Structure 1
């Protein structure tokens, strides 16, 4: 009798153990996580640009957003000083289903900036095409962004000093069949509509009283302090002189962005990007 009971127990034990072992949970479906890399100058960079608000407010936690824009960089010296190598490492690092690279230059490609300027015909478009080709060769997906407008006015009209660089960017996008975020067109229209005085709120610091007073007349003047004892006639800001090679200075100017400016223009970038690259809509917050 004891032998029979022992045999029954041995037979039942494996069955009991099997019944108590929880079934393995099914593998969750893989979410197609993406990476967005920002490449450009100070108008995209962490300080002075729209990039921080874009990454912080308009990209969900299902995407990585990395801002590699650098102040004072053009389509030329962004490569020669080594920043492009960092971007290429991000593109090739793996771990994401897709890596999108937003590329915005133009401000520092303009004349008057030694070590930065590029020729609008022979260098700037060639540089952009090379970036596009290398992103694709590395497995990434390029997106060209036209340069953010400056906010200088004359007689109530916004000065379109970056128009030729925006047009060159559009042409490269067409020739290379690259998605385009036309930030220049959208930002230019928005700033023109609001006028010089209201647009001063987008700077990093409030305008000096005389600068705001001039803006209310529809013509902006230089925000740089005059030398002691000298009272020069009102003059337009020399952008080549006040836009530094490195990180944007915390001051008032007509190029760089404070918090309000970053929030405002990053919303434009987000809306335009959702149209230009529909596949990114799922990770963008309007």
Structure 2
């Protein structure tokens, strides 16, 4: 009986195995949907890591759903930012992929003004054409351009804020209208805030506190020269003189009426975030905004 029992058991096991389907290939996971966005900052020192609003924006005004890359550089204009190759770096970053959307905030104007050899651009022709080219190439790279008007300076005369960057801000607005580009009017908002504070209180936005004589002068409603003198050879040409006193590559932290320290960066970065949420609504969930 035992041989018969084992034969029947083997037959049943073989039959059961035959009825069990062979394992198929492992299911392929559907590709994960990329939801994170990226913001790239392009501009001059008033956006850059030292002296600009960019650090506070990247550190405190975006959520973990947004990567923020600051490619702004001090001393750069809409012209030499491209010539030196910085724009090529920004384009490569835009094309690198890995994000649902890439937004590029572009702010120039300070170094496009006259008197800065190798940097200044013509307001009527070069400056707007440079901005248009940045917009077109950003779109061609698959990214979304956002133009930003230049941060105001904090120079006063007879109680009135000197609006020397107004024409560059208006040129930026015009390009935004013509090419249907989202616009952050930082110039208008920063100007209103500096006027509200006045020449003395607005000094707290600088990188370093002013010297006593500079603060005292501002109480009259007119600010005085604040830059630290740079030794200039007596036989220097005008171009050499300007490049020495307005170097593109000299990193410094000092009191002036253009660059900003932590407090100024926090205030103006908040303005940028608020306006960005308005002009690019799909980014709002990725921005840290103060409750109103």
**Which of 254, 268, 272 is 1:269 aligned to?**
272
Secondary structure at the aligned position of 1:103 is classed as: strand
**Other-structure match for 1:44:** 47
**Which of 91, 97, 100 is 1:97 aligned to?**
100
- With 253-262 and 31-40 compared, the bigger mean Cα shift is at 31-40
Q: Which runs of 5+ in 1 are unaligned?
A: 228-238
1:225, CA displacement in angstroms? 4.7
Q: Output one character per residue of 1:127-150: Cα deviation in whole Å (capped at 9) or x when no partner.
A: 000100111111111000000000
Cα RMSD (Å): 2.5
- The 5 Å alignment of 1:64-79 reads 64-79=67-82
Q: Which runs of 5+ in 2 are unaligned?
A: 231-241
**Other-structure match for 1:235:** none
**Other-structure match for 1:233:** none
Q: Does 1:284 align with 2:277?
A: no
- CA distance in 1 between counterparts of 2:117 and 2:216 reads 33
**Other-structure match for 1:184:** 187
Q: Post-superposition, which runs of at least 4 consecutive aligned residues in structure 1 deviate over 2 A?
A: 1-12, 23-31, 224-227, 239-244
- CA distance in 1 between counterparts of 2:243 and 2:195 reads 22
**Other-structure match for 2:153:** 150
**Which of 248, 253, 256 is 1:250 aligned to?**
253
**Which of 54, 61, 65 is 1:58 aligned to?**
61
- CA distance in 1 between counterparts of 2:13 and 2:215 reads 92
Instruction: Report the structure number with the largest CA radius of gyration.
Output: 2
**TM-score w.r.t. structure 2 length?**
0.85
**Other-structure match for 1:111:** 114
**Other-structure match for 1:234:** none
Secondary structure at the aligned position of 2:41 is classed as: strand
- The 5 Å alignment of 1:133-282 reads 133-225=136-228, 243-246=246-249, 248-282=251-285
1:198, CA displacement in angstroms? 0.8
- CA distance in 2 between counterparts of 1:122 and 1:155 reads 33
1:226, CA displacement in angstroms? 6.5
1:2, CA displacement in angstroms? 4.6
Contact 1:75–1:109 (CA<8 Å) still a contact in 2? Answer: yes
Secondary structure at the aligned position of 2:277 is classed as: helix
**TM-score w.r.t. structure 1 length?**
0.86
Secondary structure at the aligned position of 2:249 is classed as: coil
Relative distance call for 1:110 and 1:26 in structure 2 (3 A) is same
